[in-house]
Amino acid sequence: MMHRTPLILGKKTYKDISDDICALVERFPSPRFMLGLAGAQFLFLIFVLVQGAIVFKGLGLMGVSHPVGWATDIVTFVFWIGIGHAGTLISAILFLFRQKWRTSIARTAEAMTVFAVMTAGLFPILHVGRPWLAYWLLPYPNQRGPLWVNFRSPLIWDVFAVSTYATVSIVFWYVGMVPDFATVRDRAKNIWRKRIYGLLSLGWRGTAHDWNHYEMVYMLLAGLATPLVLSVHSIVSFDFAVSSLPGWHTTIFPPYFVAGAIFSGFGMCITLMTIFRALVPTIKDYITMEHLDVMNRIILATGMMVGYSYGSEFFVAWYSGVEYEQYMILNRALGPLNYSYWTMVTCNVLIPQIFWFRKMRRNLWVMFIVSIFVNIGMWFERFVITVTSLHRDFLPSNWGMFHFTMFDFGALFGSFGLFLTLFLLYLRVLPSVSIAEVKPVSKVGYEGGEHGHH
Amino acid sequence: MREASMGIIDKAISCISDKGQDGIAGIWDDEHKLVEAAKKTRDSGVVGFEAISPFPLHGIDEAMGIPLSFIPWVTFVFGLSGCAFGLWFTWWTSAVNWPILIGGKPMFSLPAFIPIMFELTILFGALSSVASLFFICGLPRVEPPVIDPDLTSHRFALFVPKTAKGFDKQRLMDLFKSLGADEVKETRF
């Protein structure tokens, strides 16, 4: 019989698990945590000011101009949407594959999804230039005919895909938290905590009949979220692939985008989990080195998948015999924006190779630094796809150059402020490990006779 | 008008504030003993009792004879409706209500409508599943009766309401004690 490593360290009893997880909600956070939150809020403030200026003055404050009409806003939108995908992979796809190790990180990964999609969703709305008219993207009966949206446009598919993704992710996340809210409610000594978490728990009682339906719905949502997550980044890639621009018009895009999304999402997941462990030491028994090791292996594997896609773009450019396609790929690697291409290749393909070594996969500093590189590399991947394709297309008279402004940087770095503020507040107010899901697997690896009946 | 609306709010609150029924509860600290006890209780002829646990218990459905949830059928029907709605809506807006020629594509451009149909299938399926979960479990519920606050943390209980078939206070208390219950009490749930 194979030896199973414990999923939760420290031989916890059920009460220990409730105490450990609820303590994060019940106790006043440490000074270190407050310092982290203050840093995140500072970045968030920059975001508010920069986006406020852009809305007030116009998109011209950013680097977008002819011929590069899509830049930081769209790049950052795709970046954040991609981040979200790893969360759904952990919470839904690994659930369907009955990977029990996912239970203690699923809640936080799902939170990452929700906040990443919220951050992402702002960018197309701000990119339309007049965000107060963004609701025109929705098909609602209006006094102009009614003039409906163009359902043949990938941009409208995107509206449906991203809003469905946001809705289903939030519902999945919330349904998972309902029993845990009931745990916090029943422990609460403070009347307001009891009321607020009681309201959030919707009066959950945990009867066998309730659990019977609950588990079924959880599985159904996982089953629905799985094709959904694959569809979302495929549809995001259609924004590019359905056009006829060299560098965009590619059939490889849907799988290439999905692999990249999972790669970048696991990168961000490692960043957040290492921060979580640093800010809240008690969580180390729940988010163990085993979890981080497995995630680093996924980073290695998906990093090579995106590397393969980069290679296949070269091959297809050569094999197609299309002059524009061939020029596009050479321009990416050797043209004026070549720094972005080589940053992408270095960060996404070369640096993760260090994870072939077990020692490196289990070193917190190494994985934190690599995960930051993965984040940088994946932002540049979307930059390469979007901007280097646009800045030199078919006619040389239509060529131009893209220059960053301070507002591009402000919007990008500021979005991390929004994301991290939401994430740190989540760690403070919501049960950040699924209490009800962790308890049934807490004995794995301790009982001699544990044979895994699933 | 105000009184009428107050009436509706009061009605809604009374509808979701279920104050429970009187009955007998046994509380265990070990989930395996609870599953065993549920089986014995059912074998002794009690029908309509309930098990309360902080997490889903392996084997409790078989022990209590709870059938497989029917919610997948709801998901299936609503998922199909979402898909059909997506097809109808894209067709009606693009080809019927105000047809506009775009890029020489047909008015009814089915391949382009598939992403919309797909997303609506998922959306309808997911929301209907959760709505039916809430409906079946009687959520939301205001201040539900609590047998023991530890039942959402580390203890497990069986509850037999007075109205259950085969309810006999003394017999059940003895049964629960003989099955190793750590606590047996009269309560509301």
Residues on chain B touching A183 (C-beta within 8 angstroms): 54, 152-153
Closest chain B CA to residue A17: B153
Q: Work out the percent of chain A whose per-residue pLDDT is above 70.
A: 98
Q: Is the pLDDT of residue A452 over 50?
A: no
The complex scores an ipTM of 0.92
Least confident of A128-142, A164-178, A213-227, B6-20: B6-20
Residues of B within 8 A of A211 (CB-CB) are 53, 55-57, 60
Q: Give how far Cα A197 sits from Cα of A182, A189, A434, Å.
A: 7, 12, 15
Give every CB contact of residue A435 below 8 A, 6+ residues apart in sequence: A17, A18, A21, A22, A179, A180, A183, B54, B55
Q: Which of B98, B116, B126 sits opposite A145 (nearest CB)?
A: B98
Cross-chain Cβ contact B52/A238 below 8 Å: no
How far is CA A160 from each of CA A38, A273, B99, B186, rounded to the nearest angstrom? 35, 31, 21, 53
* Mean pLDDT within B129-150: 90
Cβ contacts (< 8 Å) between B149 and chain A: which residues? 186-187
Q: What is the pLDDT of residues A330-339, one digit of tens each?
A: 999 999 999 9
pLDDT band of residue A7 (cuts 50, 70, 90) is: confident
Q: Is the entire prediction scored with pTM above 0.80?
A: yes
A178 and A205 Cβ atoms separated by less than 8 Å: no
A-chain residues near B109 (CB < 8 A)? 151-152
What rounded mean pLDDT belongs to chain B? 90
- The answer on pLDDT for A139 being more than 80 is yes
For range A281-296, the mean pLDDT: 92
On the 0-12 / 13-18 / 19+ scale of CB atoms within 10 A, A328 is buried
Chain B CB within 8 Å of residue A359 CB: no
Chains A and B form CB pairs within 8 A to the count of 194
Give the per-residue pLDDT at A165.
Answer: 96
Tell me what the pLDDT averaged over chain A comes to.
92
Query: Distance between terminal CA atoms of chain B?
Result: 36
Q: How confident is the model at residue B1 (pLDDT cuts 50, 70, 90)?
A: very low
CA distance B30 to chain A (A): 10
How far apart CA A268 and CA A274 sit, in angstroms, is 10
Give the model's confidence band at A357: pLDDT under 50 very low, under 70 low, under 90 confident, else very high.
very high
Closest residue in A to B92 (Cα–Cα): A148
- A2 — pLDDT class (breaks 50, 70, 90): low
Q: Is residue A239 less than 8 Å (CB to CB) from chain B?
A: no
Contact A436 B55 (CB under 8 A): yes
Q: Coil, helix or strand for B102? A: coil
Report CA B137 to chain centroid distance, whole Å. Answer: 3
Unique residue bearing structure tokens 């008015």: B107
Q: Tell me, yes or no, if A179 comes closer than 8 A to chain B by beta carbon.
A: yes
Q: Specify the DSSP class assigned to residue B141.
A: -
Would you give the DSSP letter of residue B47? B
* Nearest-angstrom CA–CA distance, A360 and A254: 31
Residues A94 and A415: their CA atoms lie apart, in Å, by 28
What pairs with residue B158 in β-bridges?
B26, B51
Distance set, CA A358 to CA A154, A288, A303, B41 (Å): 43, 15, 17, 52
- In this complex, the residue of B38, B69, B119 whose CB is nearest that of residue A213 is B69
Handedness of CA A372, A378, A382, A385 (dihedral sign): positive
- Using the predicted structure, report yes or no on whether residue A318 has a pLDDT greater than 90: yes
CB A312 within 8 A of CB A259: no
Asked if B66's CB is within 8 angstroms of A208's CB, the reply is yes
**pLDDT, tens digit, for every residue of A422-439?**
999 999 999 999 999 999
Share of chain A above pLDDT 90, in %: 86
Rounded to 5°, the CA angle A91-B74-A158 comes to 55
* B57, B116, B117, B188, best to mutate vs chain A, most A CBs in 10 Å: B116
- Residue A8: the pLDDT is 87
A156 touches chain B (CB under 8 A): yes
Average pLDDT, stretch B142-171?
90
Q: Does A129 touch chain B (CB under 8 A)?
A: no
Query: By C-alpha distance, which of B27, B122, B33, B144 is closest to B76?
Result: B122
Cβ contacts of A292 within 8 Å, gap of 6 or more: A270, A273, A274, A361, A362, A364, A367
Q: Which of A17, A18, A22, A151 has the highest number of chain B CBs within 10 A, making it the mutation to test binding with B?
A: A151
* A423–B contact, CB cutoff 8 A: no
Residue of A156, A172, A187 with shortest CB distance to B149: A187
What is the rounded CA–CA span in Å between residue B65 and residue A348?
53
pLDDT at A453: 46
Mean pLDDT of A182-197: 93
